[in-house]
């Protein structure tokens, strides 16, 4: 995270740095983003940059934190289901809170940075996973509650179910984010993807006798479906 010297800057100065950095990361991607070009646009020296941040990765995660904090606040306000009768609707709305943010351009950029710029082979991937863990914990808590109430299967642990739903969501979100990134209203295909994702996640979570291998096969099928846009 940034050094206190950056955190102590006036709010408008911090916002300017983070907005320009977000634009550069979104446009070029993490690896290709030139620190020299960023410094030129910010009109600061390299010494000034390292006076504020440890390195480029530190800046990247500072930009991400801004969006993640906003999402975390909304999820915290939403909380957990209060009764069994509202469980599935509440869980659906928790997911929609995340997706609703993508109608705001800055959060589309944040989403692209998370899902598209740091693949599992990237040196920063493990750090990104740890960084996003509070959001994962929120949904895992919901899954655990569903297991207690009998709405969610118990033949797999809540952690394993989180891994499965994360994998499925990533396939869909990559496709959905590309649509929102064009700055246009959601297309019919995008809305179908939203609905299909919700149905797929519920099928994975609900109690059943489906073997894990079948669930794994559904991941592959979902990826092929989204890749070729065969939406029905």
DSSP state of 152: S
Q: How far is CA 52 from CA 2, 9, 14, 48, 223, in A?
A: 6, 10, 10, 7, 41
Q: How far is CA 218 from CA 8, 119, 159, 200, 232, in A?
A: 49, 21, 18, 9, 16
For a pLDDT cut of 90, what percent of the chain falls above it?
37
Task: Answer whether 180's CB lies under 8 Å from 102's CB.
Answer: yes
Q: What's the distance, CA 85 to chain centroid?
A: 28
- The reported pLDDT for the residue numbered 229 is 46
Task: Answer whether 168's CB lies under 8 Å from 104's CB.
Answer: no
- The reported pLDDT for the residue numbered 211 is 45
Domain ranges within the chain, ordered by starting residue? 4-227
At a CB cut-off of 8 Å and minimum separation 6, what does 99 contact?
A: 176, 194
Q: What is the CATH number of domain 4-227?
A: 1.10.357.10
Q: What is the mean pLDDT of residues 138-165?
A: 93
Which of 116-125, 158-167, 174-183, 213-222 is predicted least confidently? 213-222
Q: How far is CA 190 from CA 109, 204, 229, in A?
A: 17, 21, 10
In this predicted model, which residue has the larger pLDDT, 231 or 212?
A: 212
pLDDT digit string (tens) for 98-110? 776 666 666 677 6
- The reported pLDDT for the residue numbered 230 is 43
Q: Is the pLDDT of residue 225 over 70?
A: no
In this predicted model, which residue has the larger pLDDT, 125 or 152?
A: 152
Task: Answer whether 82's CB lies under 8 Å from 88's CB.
Answer: no
In this predicted model, which residue has the larger pLDDT, 136 or 185?
A: 136
- The reported pLDDT for the residue numbered 196 is 86
Instruction: Count CB neighbours of 158 within 10 A.
Output: 19
CA distance 179 to 190: 7
Task: Give the predicted TM-score (pTM) of the model.
Answer: 0.77
Q: What is the DSSP string of 16-48?
A: HHHHHHHHHHHHH-TTT--HHHHHHHHT--HHH
CA distance 184 to 187: 8
For a pLDDT cut of 70, what percent of the chain falls above it?
82
CA dihedral 26, 31, 32, 37 (to 10 degrees): 80
Q: Show the DSSP H helices in the chain as ranges.
A: 4-7, 11-28, 35-42, 46-52, 56-78, 87-100, 105-115, 125-131, 133-149, 158-180, 188-205, 212-227
């Amino acid at each position: 995270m940034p050094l206190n010297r950056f955190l102590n800057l006036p709010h408008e100065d911090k916002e300017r740095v983070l907005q320009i950095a977000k634009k550069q990361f979104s446009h070029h991607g993490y690896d290709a983003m030139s620190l020299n070009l960023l410094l030129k646009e910010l009109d600061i020296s390299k010494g000034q940059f390292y006076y504020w941040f440890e390195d480029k990765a530190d800046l990247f995660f500072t930009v991400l934190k801004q969006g993640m904090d906003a999402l975390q606040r909304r999820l915290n306000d939403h909380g957990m289901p209060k009764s069994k009768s509202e469980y599935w609707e509440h869980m659906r709305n928790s997911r929609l809170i995340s997706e609703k943010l993508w109608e705001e351009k800055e959060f589309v950029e944040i989403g692209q940075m998370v899902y598209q710029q740091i693949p599992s082979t990237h040196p920063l991937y493990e750090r990104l996973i740890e960084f996003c863990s509070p959001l994962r914990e929120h949904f895992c808590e919901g899954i655990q509650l569903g297991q207690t109430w009998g709405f969610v299967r118990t033949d797999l642990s809540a952690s394993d179910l989180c891994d499965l739903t994360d994998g499925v969501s990533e396939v869909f979100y990559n496709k959905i984010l590309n649509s929102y990134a064009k700055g246009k209203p959601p297309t019919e295909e995008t809305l179908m993807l939203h609905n299909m994702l919700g149905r797929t996640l519920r099928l994975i979570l609900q109690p059943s006798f489906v073997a894990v291998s079948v669930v794994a096969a559904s991941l592959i099928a979902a990826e092929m479906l989204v890749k070729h846009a065969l939406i029905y």
